[in-house]
A and B are shown apart, each in its own frame.
Chain A
Amino acid sequence: MLTPRTPSLLSSLLLFTSLGACGDDGRAPLETDAGFDMQVPDAGTDMATEPDAGPEDSGVDAAPDMPPEMAPVFRNPVETDDETLASEAVAILFTLQAATATTCPGCYEVTRANIRRLWDQTMASWGTCFGDLDLVTPEAAQAALDCFETEGAPDRDRLGVFATGASLPWFGFAFRRALGDDWEEPYLAFVADVRIPTPPETALTQEQFDVLTEWFLRGTPDVERQVPHLQPRGSCESFADASVALLAEEGAISGWPARNEAAAMLMHGCPTPGSPLDCLSTYPEAADTAAGADWNVVAGSKTRVLFEVPYDSSYWTKTSPSGRFVAHGGGISAGASIIDLSRDVSVGVDASFDPGFFPDGSGFMFQGGGTKVCPTSILTAGDPTTLTLTEPGCTSPDGIGLYQHVGAALEGDDYWVVDSVWDGDPGSSDSDPSVSERADADLTLYRLINTGAGFELSGEFFEQVPFEASAVISPTMRVVVTQIGNGSGTPIGYVLRRIDLTRGPGGTVTNVSLPEIARYCYPGGKAALALDDRYLVTHHRATDADAVDLGFTGPSDPEFAPYRGISNIYLVDLISGERTRITNMQPGQRALFPSFRSDGWIYYLVRTGSLPEYVVATDAAIVLR
């Protein structure tokens, strides 16, 4: 289940709980020479207990033997529920948007992209500049002030959302503690430089600051409802909410890679558990092959050729989570095949296409003559040469459509199958598959309830997703990704939606919502997600728009012409939104159908226009992490 607060954030909040006990009873606005409002601690309570710290004009007669002044409270923890907090915080953001409209037009416009940017800054500063809020010594205070600067000048971006509190007592205290009697002028300059909004606009109150910072430190929960990402059909603006990063953080410790490692899953070709970069080293590097000399493009990564496929494969190729098995339609003696890399053989399968492996390695699914689901043991017990998918343990469940995406539930939870409008992709076209853009498109999530001994279909939930198609659910069941088009069916981006489950007593799911938490504006085919929700990988056929990226001067470069329609593999970091091309196919070559194995290696298929086809692996996603 998705939890918006990570352990580290919770720890931070606990820290604040204790700091809050230091007390902060009242604050009086202080008019300064700069003509804008500041807030300093009540002189009678918090300030001037340290003889050399209090400002001359603070009106405090400090007793020499009094204990040192304690830092004012930085922020007070807020107990409000996520939804209410989000509503209050976003309202504050809109006041900041209005207050900065003149001085910094657009800088603090309330958009998902801006909120995410501010969250990134906030978390970076929270872990560095605000690591010590007590500032017991001048050195500690000076370190904080230094942290607020870039190349010797105050830098608003170094403070993130905390810049909205620059006029609050804690900051003034930091300057006094660091600079002594000469604190005020630098402090006022600092406020003028970094505060949001810039003076003389009205500063946030401590209460507003508390609410706003609380929301950011919680990871901006409910932002998707408070600030809907509204874009007209055919356009795409990239953004990724904070919750994407939180999901990835959660996935790193509880996603399938961690789960499979704990179950001692044997990763194919890996001599040492937990060292994925050492894997598959016995396979030839693509660079040493005639066809693949130029395939590798990510510095420090390895691209290896795992298998030469002596037949024409059909539609999608998928890897098992261990990387031992690779499945696709097509074959020599049967309609489909499963390549056993451990035995270096292709096993004929009585199916047609669209394989899928459960992320825990327990089984797999194939289409053709109905859906067939089988345990992996039919592949691992003995040395099969053909499979009918009627072997012991295989079943033929109803209700699973083509292009299904299979998973297994983490820690005994339910399992979900997603269904949406989709377009086939046999891999033979010179262009990416089109996106069926329908105004009435919806996503259907089928709930397969974990009965304890298996799964039973028990209900379905719909969500309208106008003009989105080709939905793919992540192996963790935490997110679903769809594609959008330019209004004419040409794919222009991916929409990432979080699966939010509302549960009743006994863990029963009573509602499912799919808030959009990110949008990645790149063309391509159907997406595949990493088993820890960190990356998206896809293939994309080159168009004129790719000419420069492929190393040409532009689409009119005569050298570029034969590259139109080639297919490369692209990796999208879901946290940053950054896309990286991880292959460098040559004219006539297509890298297709990428999928992740549990440890982050990506397998894909390369077609060169003649046999053999190649099953290829790259560790680019591990290297780039």
Chain B
Amino acid sequence: MSLLAAGCAEPVDPSGVCGEVGSATGAATAPDRRVLGAAADYPADLALEGRYGELVRSQRVRRAAAWDAVAKLLAPVPTHEALPTADATVPLWRTFYDREDFGRIFQNLYGELSPEERLARAPLSDPRVDEAFLWNVGFVDSLGSWPETRFQDYLATLDSPDAVNRVGGVGRIAMSPAMTRHIAQSYPQVLDCLDDGPPGPEVAGVPREDPLLREAVALGPCSSAGFGPIHIGREETLRVTLVPREGSDVARLMVLEGPDDDLVCDGTRECEVDAPGDHSVRVVAGESGFAGTLDVRRSVVDAPVTCLAGAFPADAVSVAAEWRRIDPALPFPTFDTSAAALAELVATETPTWVPDGEILPGDAGIHSQRLESGARFVLAGLHIRTRELPQGFAITLWWSADPDTDFGADRPESIRALGGPWANYKMCVAVDFTELDDDPEGGFGTDAPTLAAALSAVHEGRGGPTWCSNPYIDAAPGLAVGNCVGCHQHGMSGVRPGEVATDEARFPSNGRLPARSNYPSDGSWALDAGDDLAARINEIVDFFSSP
């Protein structure tokens, strides 16, 4: 359940006339959890991080990987309970845990600790979390208000795709089991953060050095050898040492960067480079040749994750769903994300999405659900954030009446094959603060010209901030020029989402650039905005501490 303004992506009422009052209840209630069963795991691509260099320098590769992730999250999975609708399925992300699930699960875990264990903030073991997940599925059976007959009657009402879609309600945030588990197991760190206050922007990380290459090099006169590519990320340093064997002449040591092999270091024995990018090392021997050893290391200072027990695992995924009510009082807007519209948008002082029309989407064309009251909600957008990449894999989908142009022009068959409305959603993705693809068209100039043009409209040059923004979700002032990554770095830091896109002095480029050396919640807003899970954890701990 979300109350009032929440995460980076929370819509706001620009007029400020009424704003938001109350809470939009409709999360996956206990009976719905039994219908869905335990949440499905997200099948993370554990090799994806190894392709990080490729992803940051190629929009095309990045988008292909993002569509793959989307396909996995939209993949139909059967419900735990048999429903009247034959072969009833829900998208995988709809099985994820919401705030109520988290509250029940953590309550069960913490409540089972002994007073001594609570005092010591004892760890919650994996097997105990597994048990709590299963307990949560059957929790409804312990409620006097849900006898089996009522539950069976409820199942009988789920007799159409529209009805099945309402299982899980209109709750906003859904978390994969890995994310839920990690937050629950991080409760001591969460409590520490609440007790001590948010960490400042600069917290010294723990340096480490990864040996990447150590190789004997033997070169004839005037010959050379190349090594790489070697990707260096933000806050990383590449150290290259060339040590000649005794009696050998020195050689020229060069470090080159990018597709044009820009020379970023030129020496004989040592090179140190800290500019992010894909690098290569070249050793050029003089007239007498060279014999020696090349040693390549990458120095990394891991950004501290001070409010969690370390960074999230790769299969930790959060999904923020933007459900919109279909009602005459709430016309459903459409947005133009073409190159022309984007060019105009980014030129404004505070880039903010403005609808270009209204539409009444049909049931078949958009993922929708109808509540028992008859109220119809449609899925306008999805913010997806997986942890398969260091800065998170930030993907956002939005519905479009013109789905096959610009950000939908490269939609792969894997998405189309899902059927239903899923081919009507466009997508953008960001994996880092800065754009390292120097092709403004992102490699789509030939086969997807409308996408190429749209990407060009928001490309600020190689090294500039990346762009990704969802017109339905990133509705707050300034967020039309966002990149998700910049905003999420502030989760649990005390900075509020609304400040990030508009406080240019503190957070330049609409908050898209790195502004801190630590990520208190590893980029998750779930703890202190939106679902306020930190407050929920504290509330549960307080409950068991009070007389």
User: In the bound complex, do residue A507 and residue B374 qualify as a contact, i.e. CB atoms below 8 Å apart?
Assistant: yes
Q: Which of A266, A410, A454 contacts B20 (CB 8 A)?
A: A454
**Nearest CB in chain B: distance from A366 CB, A:** 13
Q: How many A-B residue pairs have CB under 8 A?
A: 227
Which residue in chain A gives the minimum CB-CB distance to B140?
A: A262
Whether A395 and B327, one on each chain, are in contact in the complex, defined by CB atoms closer than 8 angstroms, is: no
Closest chain A residue to B371 by CB distance? A412
Which partner residue on chain B sits nearest A253 by CB separation?
Answer: B145
Contact pattern, A 365-398, Cβ under 8 Å of B = 1, otherwise 0? 0000000011111001110000000001111111
**If the complex has contacts A342-B546, A412-B375, are A453 and B21 also in contact, measured as CB distance less than 8 A?**
no
| A456 interface residue per 8 A CB criterion | yes
Residues of B within 8 Å of A480, CB to CB, are none
Decide if B100 is an interface residue (CB 8 Å cutoff).
Answer: yes
Q: Which of B268-276, B317-325, B393-401 contacts A (4 or more CB under 8 A)?
A: B317-325
Stretch of B64-72, B450-458, B515-523, B533-541 lying at the A interface: B533-541
Partner of B23, one of A258, A360, A380: A360
Which residues in A have their C-beta under 8 angstroms from that of B153? 7
Kindly list chain A residues whose C-beta atoms are within 8 Å of the C-beta of B3: 362-363, 375-377, 393, 454
Chain A min CB distance to B396 (Å): 15
Question: With A and B bound together, what is the CA distance between A253 and B372 in angstroms?
Answer: 15
- Which of B4-12, B47-55, B347-355 has 4 or more CB atoms under 8 Å from chain A? B4-12
| Binary interface encoding of chain A residues 567-609 relative to chain B, with 1 for a CB under 8 A from any of its CBs, else 0 | 0000000000000000000000000000000000000000000
- Interface bits B209-253 vs A (CB < 8 Å: 1, else 0): 000000000000000000000000000000000000000000000
| A254 and chain B: residue at smallest CB distance | B145
Contacts of A450 in B (CB 8 A): 24, 26, 170, 325, 375
For window 329-387 of B, CB contacts with A under 8 Å fall at 329-330, 370-377
Interface of A: prevailing SS:
loop
Could you say which of A266, A412, A455 contacts B539, with CB atoms under 8 Å apart? A266
The residue of chain B having its C-beta at the shortest distance from the C-beta of A451 within the complex is B325
A503 at the interface (CB under 8 A from B): yes
Taking a contact as CB atoms closer than 8 A, the residue among B18, B377, B539 that contacts A398 in the complex is: B18
Contact flag A452-B540 (CB < 8 Å), given A262-B146, A411-B25, A411-B169: no
Given A360-B1, A362-B23, A506-B327, answer yes or no on A411-B145 (Cβ-Cβ < 8 Å): no
Cα A274 to Cα B146 in complex, Å, equals 13
CB neighbours (8 Å) of A449 from chain B are: 325, 327, 329-330
Given the complex of chains A and B, what is the CA–CA distance between A459 and B18 in angstroms? 12
B203 contacts partner chain A, Cβ-Cβ < 8 Å: no
Asked if A264 is at the interface of the complex by the 8 Å CB criterion, the answer is yes
Say yes or no: B542 contacts A342, CB within 8 Å: yes
Contact B538 A453 (CB under 8 A): no
Contact A452 B377 (CB under 8 A): yes
The minimal Cβ–Cβ distance linking A412 to chain B, given in whole angstroms, is 3
Residues of A within 8 A of B372 (CB): 1, 411
Which A residue sits closest to B106, measured CB to CB?
A264
Q: Is the CB of B107 within 8 A of A264?
A: yes
A363 & B23 in contact (Cβ 8 Å cutoff): yes
Contact B535 A363 (CB under 8 A): no
Q: Check if A527 is an interface residue, CB within 8 A of chain B.
A: no
> Does B143 contact A377, Cβ atoms closer than 8 Å?
no
The answer on a CB contact under 8 Å between B18 and A262 is no
Q: Let me know if A262 and B145 touch, CB within 8 A.
A: yes
- The answer to whether B373 and A1 touch across the interface, beta carbons within 8 angstroms, is yes
Residue B17 is within 8 A (CB to CB) of chain A in the complex: yes
**Contact assessment for A508 and B532 in the assembled complex, using a CB-CB cutoff below 8 Å:** no
Please tell me if A408 contacts chain B, counting CB pairs below 8 Å.
yes
- Contact residues, B277-322 vs A (CB, 8 A): 322
Cβ B30 vs Cβ A262 within 8 A: yes
Task: Tell me if A343 and B535 are in contact (CB < 8 A).
Answer: no
Q: Check if B448 is an interface residue, CB within 8 A of chain A.
A: no
Minimal beta-carbon separation of B190 from chain A (angstroms): 10
Q: Report yes or no: A381 in contact with B145, Cβ–Cβ below 8 A.
A: no
> Given A7-B150, A264-B100, A408-B22, is A413 in contact with B373 using a C-beta cutoff of 8 Å?
yes
Tell whether, in the assembled complex, residue B194 and residue A382 are in contact, meaning their CB atoms are under 8 Å apart: yes
Decide if A133 is an interface residue (CB 8 Å cutoff): no
Q: Which residues of chain B come closer than 8 Å to A74, judged between CB atoms?
A: none
Q: Is the CB of B31 within 8 A of A507?
A: no
Is B22 touching A459 in the complex (CB atoms < 8 A)? no
What 0/1 pattern do residues 414 to 455 of A give for CB contact below 8 A with B?
110000000000000000000000000000000011111111
Segment from A14-22, A106-114, A399-407, A555-563 that makes contact with B: A399-407
- Segment 140-183 of B: residues with Cβ below 8 Å from A: 140, 142-146, 149-150, 153, 169-170, 172
Chain A 327-344, CB-CB to B under 8 Å as 1, else 0, gives: 000000000000001110
| B419 part of interface (Cβ distance < 8 Å) | no
Q: Which residue of A lies closest to B10 (CB)?
A: A453
Cα A1 to Cα B10 in complex, Å, equals: 29
- Whether the Cβ atoms of B373 and A506 lie closer than 8 Å is no
Known: A266-B107, A268-B546. A395 touches B19 (CB 8 A): yes
Known contacts A274-B144, A458-B327, A506-B374; 14 additional CB pairs below 8 A are A262-B145, A264-B104, A343-B546, A377-B532, A380-B538, A398-B18, A408-B23, A412-B170, A414-B375, A453-B24, A455-B21, A457-B18, A507-B327, A507-B373
18 cross-chain CB contacts under 8 A: A7-B149, A258-B145, A263-B100, A264-B103, A274-B142, A363-B22, A375-B532, A377-B3, A392-B529, A397-B20, A409-B22, A451-B20, A452-B325, A453-B24, A454-B21, A456-B329, A459-B329, A508-B327
Closest 5 CB pairs of A and B: A454-B20, A412-B26, A507-B374, A507-B375, A377-B535
- Residues of A whose CB lies within 8 Å of any CB of B are 1, 7, 252-254, 258-259, 261-264, 266, 268-269, 274, 282, 324, 341-343, 358, 360, 362-363, 373-377, 380-382, 392-400, 406-415, 448-459, 503, 505-508
